Homo-oligomer: A and B are copies of this chain.
């Protein structure tokens, strides 16, 4: 019961500190843990923790990748099958980041995003915009679940597509949605040409 925590305890503390702030330097760590810099180095070595510079770089890259995939990705989730104009399937494995911390239940808009992006990707056109959607969240989805979305074109009139999307976890329907998607030629043009509403596109 020294003022100083024992080694294994210190190792947990170390991990904790770095969890909270990955940019923290050896010197600072040494101060906070009440040990020498050398000890911190040995600890990092034992725990296989890279140096601050490296950690920062990794965080930067991973976070960037994440932002890109969430914000910029063509399809949310992984496209596992496409038959343009007919049907498409994507798989998304929601992380804890996508869920409410308290309940672990995935936020609805991620499920919507998967379905919507899939519906849009399915349409065989330069540019496609979602005009409307009717969706039902049938059952909560938890972080770690394997979310499989299947989209099918059910109707087509000119540039207006009707796409049904069903998402499942372990074979059970958790989400169902109907999307109206408008396709545009190479010339995107402005909104509301015929049916009136439109909104999404595909790069």
Residues of A near any B CB (own CB < 8 A): 22-23, 53, 56-57, 59-61, 63-64, 66-68, 70-72, 76, 97-98, 100-103, 105, 107-109, 111-113, 116-117, 120, 127, 129-141, 175, 188, 190-192, 196-203
Contact = CB atoms under 8 A, between A and B. Distances in A.
Given A97-B72, A131-B136, A191-B139, A200 B67 contact: no
A99 B171 CA distance: 33
Contacts of A100: 201-203
B201 A23 contact: no
Given A97-B72, A140-B191, A105 B199 contact: yes
A23 B127 CA distance: 33
A68 to B, nearest CB: 8
19 contacts: A56-B57, A56-B60, A63-B63, A63-B64, A71-B97, A71-B98, A76-B109, A105-B200, A107-B200, A108-B129, A108-B130, A113-B113, A132-B135, A133-B133, A134-B134, A134-B135, A138-B192, A140-B191, A140-B198
B132 A97 contact: no
A58 to B, nearest CB: 8
A112 B116 contact: yes
A143 to B, nearest CB: 11
A107 B117 CA distance: 9
Contacts of A111: 199
Given A131-B136, A134-B134, A105 B23 contact: no
